[in-house]
Structure 1
Amino acid sequence: MTKPPLAISARNLTLTLGIAAAPVEILRGLDLDIASGEVVALLGASGSGKSSLMAVMSGLERATSGALMVAGADFTSMDEDALAQARRGRIGIVLQAFHLLPTMTAAENVATPMELHGVADARERAVDELKAVGLGHRLDHYPTQLSGGEQQRVAIARAIAPRPELIFADEPTGNLDAATGKDIIELLFARRAETGATLLMITHDRALAERCERVVTMADGVIVSDTASASAAA
């Protein structure tokens, strides 16, 4: 069977922050491959480096050294402007904080990023995606008029509407109660399955991690294990 192409390939990836006199090693020589369409959990305690790794792999932060290919683009050779350009259309990001613009409606929050990138049917795609996440009746509501769960649904719609090859989700239920968080996870997995995107889910919740196909565990800026999840093995 032919293996799917790699969505992410990292080799000896490092990230060092701080000043030269007192550098802080955040990522320390990581190797990681993620296949196109794969669902991977990045598990670890706070401070393990998992969010920093996501920031580098999503182009929000530049690696200090190493090689990183993301959706066919060489992220380690790009400056910040080039990384921003490379993210467009390739990567969708869902964070713990919803980061919706308070002066824009739900539909505008989803459509505007696509409009800025020249997508001709941005409004139609925004409406369709909001309907897909169960918010067809909330298109013209502002973030303050939406519950936390509804705001995260808008954030998911915003991430998925451009049909990115990769979706990064960093503790997407961290600001939600347990019941709402469970609904959001079900929605995120369902929308990913329908679009076929690669999903990297960052979490400290092992039960949630086990719902993914692979569990990559980090500690102190390195990968300490990379295994198929119990659900994938079953």
Structure 2
Amino acid sequence: MTNHTAPSSPGAAIRARDLTLTLGTRQAPVEILRGIDLDIDDGEVVALLGPSGSGKSSLMAVLSGLERASGGSLSVGGADFSALDEDGLAAARRGRIGIVLQAFHLLPTMTAAENVATPMELAGSDDATPRALAELEAVGLGHRTGHYPTQLSGGEQQRVAIARATAPRPAIIFADEPTGNLDAATGEEIIELLFARRAETGATLLIITHDDALAARCDRVLTMADGRIVSDTRAQVPAQAAE
């Protein structure tokens, strides 16, 4: 019999047991995640590989609280995600999780500074604006804080997205193909920045990528296929050596 109680030992960033995700209808269910068991410790840098349709983005959505699992147990940053509804997941994400997506997802009517500060303001921070300005300075955009997304290049928009994700100093950062919409040179700059900001904060990082060279820079490489983790290996070069 499977034990569905996720352990909550010290140093546990993510603990998943028999995690499932089924979409579609009752008459025509579609199994997306098929019993994921996963332990990720605090501070680990983990790459998630796999072909399109293997379940990578769905797994990240569940682990980050953007999607609720259909079954199993999940503990993230000390919170029991499997016991929370959508509102509870949204509250649990605040300050605990930072997310960087391929499509940036900046609000077009807000400046760079406002895009970074607003989530912290909504979470009740009383120093959101100075923290946002400091984080934008840290990602090399101190001179672009008053610019709107349409006035920024793709690389600059992704820098804003990284600042937004890291400004609250989350314990865990999720990045889903963060260079997918960028040219190779800009993408490399963004990866260097993401690793640098993660190193500064000591956050756990889980990054979806198709880049084997990037994966080799991580502490661990998980490979998915057909909704399951089919391999879990240690990279030859630890992330700390690449920072």
TM-score bracket relative to the smaller structure: over 0.9
TM-score norm. by structure 2 comes to: 0.94
CA distance in 2, matches of 1:52, 1:86: 18
Pair 1:31-2:37 in alignment: yes
Greater CA drift, 33-42 or 199-208:
199-208
**Among candidates 153, 159, 162, match of residue 165 of structure 2:** 159
1:14-64, Cα deviation, whole Å (9 max, x unpaired): 000000111100000010000001000011111110100000000000000
CA distance in 1, matches of 2:181, 2:135: 22
Pair 1:170-2:176 in alignment: yes
**Among candidates 186, 207, 211, match of residue 217 of structure 2:** 211
Task: Determine the structure 2 residue equivalent to 1:14.
Answer: 20
Q: State the shift of 1:232 in Å.
A: 2.5
Pair 1:231-2:237 in alignment: yes
**Among candidates 192, 198, 205, match of residue 204 of structure 2:** 198
Amino acid aligned to 1:189? F
CA distance in 1, matches of 2:104, 2:225: 27
Task: Determine the structure 1 residue equivalent to 2:61.
Answer: 55
Unaligned runs of 5+ in 2: 1-8
Task: Determine the structure 2 residue equivalent to 1:104.
Answer: 110
Task: Determine the structure 1 residue equivalent to 2:128.
Answer: 122
Q: State the shift of 1:117 in Å.
A: 1.1
Amino acid aligned to 1:200? L
CA-atom RMSD, angstroms? 1.2
Task: Determine the structure 1 residue equivalent to 2:144.
Answer: 138
CA distance in 1, matches of 2:134, 2:207: 24
Pair 1:45-2:51 in alignment: yes
Q: State the shift of 1:204 in Å.
A: 1.7
Give the percent of matched residue pairs that are identical in Structure 1 and Structure 2: 79
CA distance in 2, matches of 1:98, 1:224: 29
Pair 1:88-2:110 in alignment: no
Unaligned runs of 5+ in 1: none
CA distance in 1, matches of 2:127, 2:100: 22
SS at match of 1:230: coil
Q: State the shift of 1:116 in Å.
A: 1.2
1:84-117, Cα deviation, whole Å (9 max, x unpaired): 0000000000000011111111001000111111
Query: Which runs of at least 4 in structure 1 moved beyond 6 Å after TM superposition?
Result: none
SS at match of 2:146: coil
